Amino acid sequence: MNNPKRYLITAALPYANGPVHIGHLAGCYLPADIYVRYLRAQKRDVKFIGGSDEHGVPITIRAMKEGITPQQVVDRYHSIIKESMLQMGISFDIYSRTSNKVHHDTASDFFKKLYDDGVFEEKETEQYFDEKSNTFLADRYIVGTCPVCNNDKAYGDQCEKCGSSLSPEQLINPKSALSDVPLVKKKTTHWYFPLQNYEAWLKEWIIEGHKEWKNNVYGQCKSWLDSGLQSRAMTRDSNWGIKVPLPNADGKVLYVWFDAPIGYISATKELTNQWADYWCKEDTKLVHFIGKDNIVFHCIIFPAMLKAHGNFILPDNVPANEFLNIEGEKVSTSRNWAVWVNEYIKDFEGCEDVLRYVLCANAPETKDNDFTWKDFQDRNNSELVSIFGNFVNRAWVLMHKLCGGKVPKLHEDVLDERDKALMKDIQQSALNTQHLIEEYKFRDALFEVIDLSRKGNKYMQEKEPWIVVKQLTTDPLAQKSIDNCLHLCLQLTANLSILINPFLPTIAKKMCGMMKVVDRMLDWENAGKIDLLKVGYSLRQPQLLFRKIEDEEITKQIEKLKNNLVKPIMSEQVSNEVENSKSEITFDDFAKIDLKIGTIVAAEKVEKADKLLKLQVDLGTEIRTIVSGIALHFSAEDIVGKQVTVVTNLAPRKMRGIESNGMILMAEDKLGKLYFVSPTTVIDNGSGVS
């Protein structure tokens, strides 16, 4: 769209079921933020919309497991996510949430309009029901044996062992992942959106009308459309979500993927009374930033819903990114193979822009990409510190040393070819950066800026003002040459601050501080100009823009990642974060428990029991057999020799035919990872614990 009057930029609503990791940032929040900051610097009319997606089955299941309400789950994660976004400089105009009333009303009205217009098909089907927890189960919560590879832990939507895509009907012996009970089928009525009725229109709109969309997006849409669309249920059986606004629809809510994208509209309503200008006027440019797993919802289903509704504009572009892997492996939140944004902010205080830099430089714009801590360190140390930071710092130090801390004159009469070339480079880089950002090529745009600072370094190296200064007494042109060099280096710095601002806003602000200029200088109309800093203007002392990242910091992060790794546990993926507080006991009650230190001297897996290990524990005066449910966390060979704390007077218990005489104490962290409770140094077996 040429010359839109206003921009409406959305970033996928993160699911309020856990904190955000760096893959989320790289996938859509950072690119959206870069684009929005650029548009603001262009003084365009732009609204940046975000919020938490707070409905859907995983939230109710998590609440059930933790013994809290779904509202408590979403309250917790909404605030963690919101805080992380803020700290990373993701500059939403509003960060809302789908549990807000305005959203319930908006989504409800949207559904009602489609219903009244006769859009939906009403169908009764049979679905799997868990009688113990009294819920219909989503595919992910049905487990059974994979018909392809016989893996007995396959999910209703996929077998993670062989990768087959499955439906619950294909599973052998389907069971509930919640309660382990066999499932029954029950009849239920739902409202289906007939996507097939919009197929022809979608083909024309996307395949013919949006050939400029990114290849990964266009390609996925094309393959969906080529394989034919079908009706999809837009309601679910649940008590958590937006009630279906129809009579006789008790216990039914809107499908989370029906309500979530409408959340963009609700949040805009919350933000401004002029919301309809942004959503209903054809001269608004709507852009959805998302990750590749959301392409079908944002390019096919939501546009079809908007089309069916009739009052809203359609997205102009949906620049989805692919996935960011971590150290060569796919991110897995259930295994805790992820770099969490809230933890990064704690570990690298003041380095938020460094993460923004690395995630943009490494963005999975066209294919899946890999984040490694080593690359993070390299990019910081050899690009930010050695190229960009080094150029700015040298320019400042030399200006203070050779020009008395003031912007020197530009002597037009002695400009040489190198000076002229640098002036041209500044203008050209500003144009290139602009074009690349407008084409959603943020990586290339960022490299363009770094490259400009590289050219600055090279220029300074060739002009050698620190050598020229020695010729002041012999060469009448020496001072002019120094002045020109530093004048241009300072103007280049001013340009760098404008161009880097959408990517590294905190650094740009710091640079403004050094130049003693107001933020208005960062307006994009100034990009490419070489008279931004006035002659004679005195500038502050340099501050270091970036610090070096040391090897130890990187080693620590890699260890942390590996130590945090949780092995997948069936139906226990969601861990207990809320401590169950127990009732008070007397000292005498406590004294009844006999605790001793022992050493595991042998360990073996118990046959046909995934979770159990049979241990022999040396308690000084005897060796006890203890069966412990830790096999998913520890392998037998790794724990032999470990000292542990044992409850020795627990009544014997038979497990899988083995008598267990005691219990090993374990600590469990919030992610469900287990740790032995051990003395800090090796002590005699049989030592008492009290």
What are the residues binding Zn ion (CB under 5 A)?
146, 148-149, 151, 159, 161-162
The nearest distance, CB 276 to Zn ion, in angstroms, is 50
Contact status, residue 99 vs residue 74, Cβ threshold 8 Å: yes
The C-alpha torsion from 655 through 660 and 662 to 667, rounded to 10°, is -40
The nearest distance, CB 573 to Zn ion, in angstroms, is 18
Nearer Cβ to Zn ion, position 146 or 178? Answer: 146
Residue 125 vs residues 118, 166, 188, 255: alpha-carbon distances, Å:
20, 19, 6, 16
The nearest distance, CB 171 to Zn ion, in angstroms, is 10
For residue 527, give the DSSP letter: T
Nearer Cβ to Zn ion, position 162 or 172? Answer: 162
Nearer Cβ to Zn ion, position 145 or 294? Answer: 145
Residue 226's CB: how many other CB atoms inside 10 A? 9
Nearer Cβ to Zn ion, position 165 or 681? Answer: 165
Nearer Cβ to Zn ion, position 161 or 335? Answer: 161
Distance CA 647, CA 665 (A): 7
Question: What are the structure tokens assigned to 594, written together?
Answer: 């006999």
The nearest distance, CB 332 to Zn ion, in angstroms, is 18
Nearer Cβ to Zn ion, position 149 or 397? Answer: 149
Distance CA 465, CA 398 (A): 8
Distance CA 249, CA 231 (A): 20
Q: Which ranges of 209-282 would DSSP assign to H, the alpha helix?
A: 215-226, 256-271, 275-280
Distance CA 303, CA 269 (A): 19
Nearer Cβ to Zn ion, position 173 or 366? Answer: 173
**Tokens 């822009």 correspond to what residue?**
353
Residue 172's CB: how many other CB atoms inside 10 A? 11
Nearer Cβ to Zn ion, position 151 or 170? Answer: 151
Phi-psi region of 369 (alpha: psi -120 to 50; beta: other; left: phi over 0): beta
Contact status, residue 358 vs residue 371, Cβ threshold 8 Å: yes
The nearest distance, CB 606 to Zn ion, in angstroms, is 25
**Tokens 């042998």 correspond to what residue?**
602
The nearest distance, CB 173 to Zn ion, in angstroms, is 14
Phi-psi region of 345 (alpha: psi -120 to 50; beta: other; left: phi over 0): alpha
Residue 413's CB: how many other CB atoms inside 10 A? 7
The nearest distance, CB 163 to Zn ion, in angstroms, is 7
The nearest distance, CB 160 to Zn ion, in angstroms, is 8
Nearer Cβ to Zn ion, position 152 or 604? Answer: 152
The nearest distance, CB 158 to Zn ion, in angstroms, is 9
The nearest distance, CB 51 to Zn ion, in angstroms, is 37
Question: 340 has which bridge partners?
Answer: 21
Residue type, 221: C
Nearer Cβ to Zn ion, position 149 or 431? Answer: 149
* Percent of the chain that is helix, strand, coil (3-state, to 5): 45, 20, 35
